[in-house]
Amino acid sequence: MTELIPAPRSVVAGSGEVRLTAHSRIHSGRGTEDAGHWLRTVLRQATGLPLREGREPDDTDGDGIGLRLGPGLGPEEYRLVSDGNGVLIEGGSAAGVLWGAQTLRQLLGPEAFRRAPVRRDRVWAVPHLTIEDSPRFRWRGLMLDVARHFMPKEGVLRQLDLMAAHKLNVLHFHLTDDQGWRIEIQRYPKLTETGSWRARTKIGHRASPLWDDRPHGGHYTQDDIREIVAYAAERHISVVPEIDVPGHSQAAIAAYPELGNSDVVDTASLTVWDTWGITPNVLAPTDDTLRFYEGVLEEVLELFPADAGPFSPFVHIGGDECPKDQWRDSDTAQKQIGNLGLADEDALQSWFIGHFDEWLAARGRRLIGWDEILEGGLAPGAAVSSWRGYSGGVTAARAGHDVVMCPQQYVYLDYRQDAGPDEPVPIGYVRTLEDVYRFEPVPSELTGEEAARVLGTQANVWTEVMEDQGRVDYQTYPRLAALAEVAWSDLPAPADRDFAGFERRMTAHYRRLDALGVAYRPPAGPLPWQKRPGVLGRPIDGPPPHA
């Protein structure tokens, strides 16, 4: 079972195998206790073996597993050796040890991903081999939108387990939008009392005539958030919260109408938005609005501590798709432009974003936002999520800013996976498994110094047309497995990548996903219950523009 995903840097096969038995033990060296606890838990469930705490594997009968930190290895690098002494996993850090343990689980076969033994006579064996491995990129992420359709806490914890199984290490947590506010803020209780529920929901694309007339909503309590962050940290995943400003904020305005442009529209009559697209209702660019969101962020910073992972200092503030029509018509906004000596409404948004850049920096945090935040200039510590193609990321890297590459043309997983008529709620361009596999996060036009600014990449899962866990699974998998390999493995140029070999390895990986209960899109197309006949999407024909 060496059909590993993501592909390791080096695999040298031996002859023979290590068999796990009722006498096998797992030894966790100093600094690897969390990885040892995780490995012992999942393997006990799957195998039924006791796997008690033991000594170093070379002090046993050759059927044990040892975990330890290895001097000279990089932060997430690991070495896995299976030989006559047993299995030894060394990591340059606790994270590296966990990634090695994830690889060991794959080596044991798909049944190692189940929560209880399915065959008591199963032989659990690891082939003799040596694997040396390390990631290409530091930031290997998944953006999960829980604002458009709420995902209960258990679903988020499940996604973290799936991310860890693919060696992904950043959850970009999209918590607020026009259609719902999902995080408890004790200072402002109406954000969840009012802002977390909408009366109904559009089914399909916004042009669809179909509605789900049931109220939809939910939110995470502060203890839910603490649990999610701690659970992620145990799996060496950083959680980066997103609080969207100044656009995509109608849910907040519905809860607190004074946040909106009340001199232009009757903000007291606004409700949490029930359809998709870009609403004109954006935050008022006032000092009072800034104070309100400072209060929000003070609680966010407490819930997402900076020491919970390498990317935990980051806070995402959105900054995308903010229509300026209300600001143009607002006397309040126009007076603010004059008072600040700004050129126009675009500069006003830059001022808004810049305020929180400075506010976060003063508290030891780093702002990250969608590539629109480049318009008007950024403080040196700010980073950019490049979604409108590559150009924003190129501009940011050349200006000295760190970049996460997530261009919609490649890694927006709400986009349809096939052009066939059975594809459910077809959105955007066709982005196949192969398209994602051939995605290259570093544009060729960047110099070596500029390319070093690319922290990594992530896939974005927008959930307008994903109403439940099954739909999220279908759109996300198997394509997230391809993104994971792009982010982790040192692959050749896109045209030279061995997609046929990846497909062969996916044959084994589909069985792992089956064991994990993932409702992925099968290679042959959607299963009957995965289709959504009659639900209008918004397909776009032809290849996406490369920008």
Active site residues: 177, 248, 321
Tell me how far apart the 2 most distant CA atoms of the chain are, in Å.
Answer: 80
Distance, CA of 203 to CA of 466 (rounded, Å): 10
Contact 64, 38 (CB under 8 A): no
Non-local CB neighbours of 2 within 8 Å, separated by 6+ positions: 11, 13, 107, 127, 129
Q: Exposed (0-12), middle (13-18) or buried (19+): which is 190, by Cβ within 10 Å?
A: middle
Q: Where are the alpha helices (DSSP H) in 51-197?
A: 94-107, 153-165, 190-193
Alpha-carbon distance 200 to 205, whole Å? Answer: 14
Separation CA 378–CA 367 (nearest Å): 10
Label residue 164 exposed, middle or buried (CB < 10 Å: 0-12, 13-18, 19+): buried
* Beta pairing partners, 236: none
Give the 3-state secondary structure of residue 200.
coil
Whole-number Å distance between alpha carbons of 334 and 337:
5
Give the three-class secondary structure for 535.
coil
Residue 277 three-state SS: coil
Q: Where are the alpha helices (DSSP H) in 166-286?
A: 190-193, 222-234, 250-255
Whether 213 contacts 227, CB under 8 Å: no
| Closest listed residue to residue 458, CA positions, set 141, 237, 137 | 141
Helix, strand or coil, per DSSP, at residue 102 = helix
Residue 441: alpha-carbon gap to chain centroid:
16
E strand map for 392-520: 402-405, 427-428, 454-461
Measure the CA–CA gap between 498 and 145, rounded to whole angstroms. 31
Structure-block tokens of residue 521: 């899109």
**Among the listed residues 502, 516, 522, 517, the one whose alpha carbon sits nearest the alpha carbon of residue 5:** 502
Q: Which two tokens stand for residue 118?
A: 């399915």
Rounded Cα–Cα distance for residues 161 and 238 (Å): 13
Phi, psi of 45 (to 5 degrees): -60, -50
Count of alpha carbons within 13 angstroms of residue 397, beta-carbon side: 26
Report d(CA 52, CA 22) in Å as an integer. 9
Distance CA 7, CA 103 (A): 10
